[in-house]
């Protein structure tokens, strides 16, 4: 703000131009794009694609891109993404995660701290990839440990030393939702549990997994909503940033 006011004082910006830059949001009619979210929270606004048309998503992305912010769209179908990419060819689409996003620019130093994304089964991969991609777009190094559910617990143990070195683990599981409890009893860092809607009838579209995770006997576990890979990743990124800062 000081810099904008200084430019007005020096005659480099008009009052109207300064007002535009100081505006906290941009009104597109059907959406109000929050341009100051990154200033408040550290990350630009994320677009929830479900229920929005390709044209609406395209317009919101244009508004976000004008501020040189990274783009992240969740729950967007292949058809919508194809239309949006015609106007924003620099974006990447991941069909499994149903996400459209700016290509992450992440280092690969072996000493770099990382977030562990742990997935119980292949059927949970859509949510797991939403989680992993969100963390990557927000600047985290991510290591994926997939198909390591409790039905074959030895698969988890084969990777446990690498998981224990992470700053935070995000554990994605459906069915009985038991995996976060197991991981929580084996690591000394925070665990974010993400229940998925995967499972047969008595899983109640993820409610059984959610209740298992909320009732976990392992300490240090936080739980987000069913299928909310994005929310799990967001919390994990905040924890990761604090851990890196404390080095």
Give the Cα separation of 90 and 45 in Å (integer).
Answer: 18
Instruction: Confirm if 57 and 28 have CB atoms less than 8 A apart.
Output: no
Q: Tell me the sheet residues that pair with 101.
A: 72, 92
* pLDDT: which is higher, 57 or 112: 57
User: What's residue 2's pLDDT?
Assistant: 66
User: What's residue 28's pLDDT?
Assistant: 76
User: What's residue 175's pLDDT?
Assistant: 92
- Render pLDDT for 9-60 as a digit per residue (tens, 0 to 9): 777 767 766 666 666 766 777 777 777 676 777 777 889 999 999 999 999 9
**Pair type for strands 168-173 and 191-195:** parallel
> What are the sequence ranges of the domains in the chain?
10-101, 114-245
This prediction has a pTM of 0.85
Give the Cα separation of 213 and 4 in Å (integer).
Answer: 48
Percent of the chain with pLDDT over 90: 67
pLDDT band at 123 (very low <50, low <70, confident <90, very high): very high
- Taking all residues of the chain, what is their mean pLDDT, rounded to a whole number? 88
**Consecutive H or E run containing 228:** none
Let me know if domain 114-245 sits in CATH 3.40.50.1970: yes
């Amino acid at each position: 703000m000081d810099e904008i006011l200084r430019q007005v004082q020096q005659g480099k910006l008009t009052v109207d131009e300064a007002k535009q830059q100081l505006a906290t949001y941009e009104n597109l009619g059907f959406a109000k794009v929050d341009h100051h979210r990154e200033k408040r929270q550290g990350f630009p606004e994320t677009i929830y694609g479900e229920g929005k048309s390709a044209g609406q998503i395209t317009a919101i992305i244009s508004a976000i891109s004008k501020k040189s912010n990274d783009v992240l769209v969740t729950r967007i179908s292949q058809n919508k993404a194809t239309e949006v990419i015609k106007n924003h060819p620099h974006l990447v689409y991941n069909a499994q995660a149903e996400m459209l996003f700016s290509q992450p620019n992440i280092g690969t130093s072996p000493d770099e701290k990382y977030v562990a994304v742990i997935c119980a089964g292949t059927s949970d991969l859509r949510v797991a990839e939403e989680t992993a991609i969100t963390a990557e777009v927000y600047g985290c190094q991510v290591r994926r440990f997939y198909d390591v559910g409790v039905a074959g617990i030895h698969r988890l143990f084969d990777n446990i030393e690498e998981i224990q070195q992470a700053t935070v683990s995000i554990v994605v599981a459906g069915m009985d939702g038991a995996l976060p409890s197991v991981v929580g009893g084996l690591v000394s860092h925070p665990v974010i549990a993400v229940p998925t809607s995967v499972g047969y009838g008595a899983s109640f579209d993820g409610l059984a997994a959610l209740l298992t995770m909320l009732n976990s006997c392992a300490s240090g576990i936080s739980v987000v909503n069913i299928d909310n890979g994005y929310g799990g990743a967001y919390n994990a990124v905040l924890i990761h940033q604090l851990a890196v800062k404390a080095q």
